[in-house]
Copies of this chain bind each other. A is one copy, B any other.
Amino acid sequence: MMAGNERAAGAGQGAGRRVSDDEKARAATIFDVARLAGVSHQTVSRVLNDLPNVRPATRARVEQAIKQLRYVPSPAARALVTRRTRTLGLIVTGAPDYGPSSTALHFNEAARDARYSVITASMLETDAASLRSTAELLVRQNVEAIVLIAAQRAALDALDGIELGVPVVAVASEDRGSMHRVWLDQYAGARLAVGHLIELGHREIRHVSGPTNAMDGAERVRGWAAELGEHGLPAREPLVGDWSPGSGYVHGRTLAEDREMTAVFVSNDQMALGVIHALAEAGRSVPGDVSVVGFDDIPEAEFFAPPLTTVRQDFVELGRDAMAGVLAVLGDDDRMPAPRVPDLIVRASTAPLGDAAPSAPSSASSKSGSRAAVSS
């Protein structure tokens, strides 16, 4: 022991000077620990990595030395030799909306649990050029995989097909051959919402959609149309919004003049807020005259006037699924997670078709307590 190898000599820490945990003192290395514990650096490494064939007494001695020197292994040195960084890249585009932000947060936590670090690249822009250069930036950091939380189709397309050298897991509502994907089933969620309106007796159900470049929105349009079609109901042209309450308000004004219509499926809660505002302003009460369903269940939805019936998405699980997907493609684990179906949350913005009869009058039942948050 105390082998006079070139390292120990090179370090040249005078035995007396070492103790002071003063400022400039360079962080301890595996050799410092080895010397203090009276073992070779390799034995320390074995302890660090929990390898077998270390006598318990030795292990204890090493652990004691580690603690005493406040030693932490260098991730750089480790990455250099193992060729694994245990680091993932996360790209989030667009404004920090509730959905993407939540997904990112829970992905982050899941990654931490799996002992991976996450280098995040958030960006407001969503053009192909900056997206690609951001992805390449992450690759240059030697991330082992990239997770892309993409709302806009363009963001997904930007990374489609290009060979980055690392796997990409997209959190997106549309499929692309070239990358793996996890998602929440927007189509099914929309059918849930529209199905609810149909059950309430509505026949003329309009739709305020998200922007055409939004994949979630497109799936919701599909679901809306499919559910209507299946019940032999007409699907009038959707009104295309931009997710903002303002665009909901604008379309709400238009809708207010459509006297046939008795229900609106709005593609997110913010726009639903605008729609309700416009309808009420035009004297069409919600849910008295018109039923409105939103999508997302943002925290505020419960406190709209009236409290909003909406479709809740589980972003917690989505974030975890993203991490599960990463582990899957990295081969450390199982297969790609299946999409989850959102839940319908019935509140007070929907009511049975009744009082104001559009074309086919019917009597209103007074069932369904309005408030009762998560009822149904």
Contact = CB atoms under 8 A, between A and B. Distances in A.
A369 to B, nearest CB: 9
B139 A374 contact: no
Contact of A281 (B141, B244, B300, B372): B372
B108 A121 contact: yes
B303 A245 contact: yes
A372 B119 contact: no
Interface residues of A, number: 61
Contacts of A104: 96, 122
Interface string A80-108: 10000101001010001010011011001
Contacts of A299: 244-245, 270
Contacts of A373: 276-278, 280-281
A339 interface: no
Interface stretch (A33-41, A70-78, A195-203): A70-78
A343 interface: no
A274 interface: yes
Contacts of A246: 302-303
A190 B74 CA distance: 47
A108 B122 contact: yes
A349 to B, nearest CB: 11
A306 interface: yes
